[in-house]
Amino acid sequence: MAWHARDEGRQGRPPALSKAANQFCLSIETLLKLPLRQTAGMVASLLRLAGLDWPVPDYSTLSRRQKTLTVQIPYRRAGGPLNLLVPSRDITS
């Protein structure tokens, strides 16, 4: 995934972040049901944890892009019951 936007050769200031970066942030916002300001902070924390020094879209950018980008989160619908494994003893020790 390209985080930084490529120069499109149009007039005006080029975008700093790619559509994929905005899509990622808006996907986090949809999945975790966070406000946009908290989403920007969450993404900044995730990038910091990954050791990446990448810029994060701010509230205004996410708000504008939210109107034009559609967030598509693919999921697989289970055909049967959900099987959940729970350990019978503490596995951390």
20-76: per-residue pLDDT in tens?
A: 888 889 988 988 889 999 999 999 999 999 898 899 998 998 998 888 888 877 766
Is residue 62 in a domain?
A: yes
What integer pLDDT is reported at residue 14 of this predicted model? 66
50 within some domain = yes
Number of compact structural domains in the chain: 1
Tell whether 37 is covered by a domain: yes
Q: Quick check: is 91 in a domain? A: no
Q: Residue 27 in contact with residue 71, Cβ under 8 Å? A: yes
Answer whether residue 4 is part of any domain. no
In the block, residue with structure tokens 């969450």: 42
- pLDDT of amino acid 30: 87
pTM comes to 0.67
pLDDT higher than threshold 70 for residue 93:
no
Identify the pLDDT of residue 82.
65
**5: burial class by Cβ within 10 Å (0-12, 13-18, 19+)?**
middle
- Residues spanned by the domain of 47: 20-66
Q: How far apart are CA 66 and CA 88, in angstroms?
A: 44
Residue 36 in domain: yes
